[in-house]
A = this chain, B = another copy of it.
Amino acid sequence: MNQKATIKDVAADAGVSIKTVSRVINNEPAVAKTTRTTVLKSIKKLKFTPNKDAQGLRSKRSFLIGLLYDNPNKYYLSDVQSGSLNACAGTNYNLVLQECKNNSSGLISRVTNFIKTADLNGVILTPPLTDNLKLVAAITKLDVPISFIAPPNKTYEVWSSANDKDAAYAMTNKIISMGHKKIAFIKGHKDHSAAKARFDGFCESLDKQNISLDASMTLQGNFSFESGFKLAAELLKKKNKPTAIFCSNDSMAAGVIKYCYQNNIAIPEQLSVTGFDDSMIAQEIWPSITTVRQPVAKMSEHAASALIKKISGNSSIGDLTKIFKSEVVLRESLGKAPK
């Protein structure tokens, strides 16, 4: 291919100075209409696109946003990405990925180093990294804006969140409305604040409906399929078995379902199972899983675009924070309580 056009070529073609071309590129108001038109014509004609490195070098911006994640549910990650990508499309910003093991040693220095080396202008944090206060503090010290997806509290400047607690509350109400009274709960990973919020919603619903919480029915899982399987065994071997198990995510619900198959427990006739996330498996497994759908892609899109606003100093345009609503999705795994 022939040499890429530069701002000089455009200036020469349009018969103006490079500064004027620069003004047009950056949408600065102080340009005469006719001049702008001429310049835009030359830009198009020469297929000019500004050199990012030169822009970045001079203006101290890299136009790079980091998406940091601790390999969570793969579907979740995929949705986070496409949402963030959508927000970047049409802007000058690009997304750079970085996987981080939340509790690995040296995490903080690796992340700060990455941010400095890649010269990121901002980062998006996903759970459970959002809950890692030390990490957040270290990035903040770098003076790099952070956008939080599902943060543990609402004190940050830029974030998107889902109403995990409300959704878990609604799901629990739904379970109770089907006649269930002995409802077990399998908690998510202990380092995820969202997991805690889900449990809180569960407790609140029981409380409001005057069903007392049985501590032996609320077990600590870790979001993995295996933990669901293992804890199902624990719950279903009790004399006083639950008639429904509310799992904090779909993978654990799938684990419960597997245990039931292997032990001839019919779902939902003998046991109802519900999940959370609406992962792909919730639809592809049989029976399909009653779960909570979160608008993860939209949350992430907002997180990214709010971050870009913040970075480019357009914070005034629209909100930098937003709560998204989740919804209960009814499928086959939830049924009436057995008599």
Contacts and interface: CB of A to CB of B under 8 A. Distances in A.
10 nearest A-B residue pairs (beta carbon): A53-B56, A53-B57, A74-B78, A254-B284, A261-B286, A53-B53, A258-B286, A94-B96, A225-B284, A74-B75
B281 A284 contact: yes
Contacts of A99: 81-82, 85
A95 B49 CA distance: 21
A34 interface: no
A3 to B, nearest CB: 11
B78 A71 contact: yes
Contact of A81 (B97, B255, B280): B97
A315 interface: no
A238 interface: no
Contacts of A98: 85
Interface stretch (A115-123, A128-136, A162-170): A115-123
Given A280-B281, A284-B251, A118 B94 contact: yes
A82 B94 CA distance: 18
A143 interface: yes
A75 B1 CA distance: 37
A285 B280 contact: no
Interface string A48-89: 010111101100001010000001001101100110010000
20 contacts: A1-B141, A49-B113, A49-B116, A57-B57, A64-B94, A71-B78, A74-B74, A77-B78, A85-B99, A92-B117, A94-B96, A94-B118, A97-B97, A225-B284, A254-B285, A258-B286, A261-B287, A281-B281, A284-B285, A285-B285
A142 interface: yes
Contact of A52 (B49, B62, B142): B62
Nearest to A228: B284
Contacts of A146: none
A262 interface: yes
A143 B2 CA distance: 10
A257 interface: yes
A132 to B, nearest CB: 20
A314 interface: no
Contacts of A53: 52-54, 56-57, 62, 119
A95 B118 CA distance: 10
B283 A262 contact: no
A85 B57 contact: no
B286 A281 contact: no
A77 B76 CA distance: 12
Contacts of A281: 280-281, 284-285
Central interface residue in A49, A94, A117, by most chain B CB within 10 Å: A94
Contacts of A117: 49, 52, 92
A96 B85 CA distance: 10
Nearest to A63: B118
Nearest to A260: B286
Contact of A71 (B4, B51, B82): B82
A35 to B, nearest CB: 24
Contacts of A75: 74
Contacts of A4: 116
Interface string A135-161: 000000111000000000000000000
